[in-house]
């Protein structure tokens, strides 16, 4: 006479739990790995890339000293993603000194969570689309991001053209009645 069992044995139950646990942990690991995969951007698409992240508040991008690996933070300091700044030649940050001369700047002091460190640059994008002023040079080309500028940077190989663009009073008035609201 055959006996019919209607329940699983303890051993069978343990095997099923182990199989479910392994499948679950593999699924979670692959999801985390997909989230950690970094995307890349070019020097000419920094603002476009930052704008592609929907935001209700400020977003900050901090790049390491080599100017190749950048982390994107939300307003709470939580890392949203890691971005790779792709360029065939080294990227350098430039700026104007107090005499109006364009010169290569050293490492920036960037603020991390509860500490300061050195990095290539720190760029902030506000919800209204304003970006931190930024001048980068890759090979012989300057890329100028201005707070009120377009998503694509101004590009030039001439230092004089960059100076004229940044200090163009028709774009960024430094003096004048209409800018200061005087009559």
Cα(144)–Cα(163) distance, rounded to whole angstroms?
10
Average pLDDT, the chain: 80
Q: What is the pLDDT of residues 77-97, one digit of tens each?
A: 888 888 888 888 888 899 888
Q: Of all residues in the chain, what percent carry a pLDDT higher than 90? A: 14
Mean pLDDT score, 170-183:
49
CA distance 115 to 13: 50
For the cut 70, the answer to whether the pLDDT of residue 168 exceeds it is yes
Which pLDDT score, from 0 to 100, does residue 154 have?
Answer: 93
User: Is-contact 88 132, C-beta < 8 A?
Assistant: no
Residues 14-48: tens digit of each pLDDT: 999 999 988 888 877 666 544 444 488 888 888 88
Token match 């479910």: residue? 20
Torsion from C-alpha of 70, 76, 80, 83, nearest 10 degrees: -10
Is it the case that residue 1 has pLDDT exceeding 90? no
Q: Which residue in the block uniquely carries the two structure tokens 């950048």?
A: 70
């Amino acid at each position: 006479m055959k006996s019919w069992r209607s329940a699983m044995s303890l051993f069978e139950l343990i095997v099923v739990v182990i199989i479910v646990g392994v499948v679950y942990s593999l699924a979670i690991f692959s999801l985390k790995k997909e989230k950690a995969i970094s995307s890349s951007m070019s020097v000419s698409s920094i603002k476009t890339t930052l704008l592609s992240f929907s935001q209700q508040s400020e977003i900050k991008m901090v790049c390491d000293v080599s100017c190749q690996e950048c982390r994107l933070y939300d307003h709470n300091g939580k890392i949203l993603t890691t971005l790779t700044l792709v360029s065939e030649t080294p990227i350098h940050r430039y700026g104007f000194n107090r005499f109006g001369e364009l010169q290569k700047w050293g490492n920036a002091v960037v603020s991390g969570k509860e500490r300061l460190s050195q990095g290539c640059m720190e760029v902030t994008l506000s919800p209204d689309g304003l970006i931190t002023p930024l001048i980068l040079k890759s090979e012989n080309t300057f890329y100028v991001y201005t707070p009120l500028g377009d998503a694509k940077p101004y590009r030039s190989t001439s230092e004089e053209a960059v100076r004229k663009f940044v200090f163009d009073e028709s774009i960024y008035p430094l003096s004048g009645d209409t800018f200061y609201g005087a009559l």
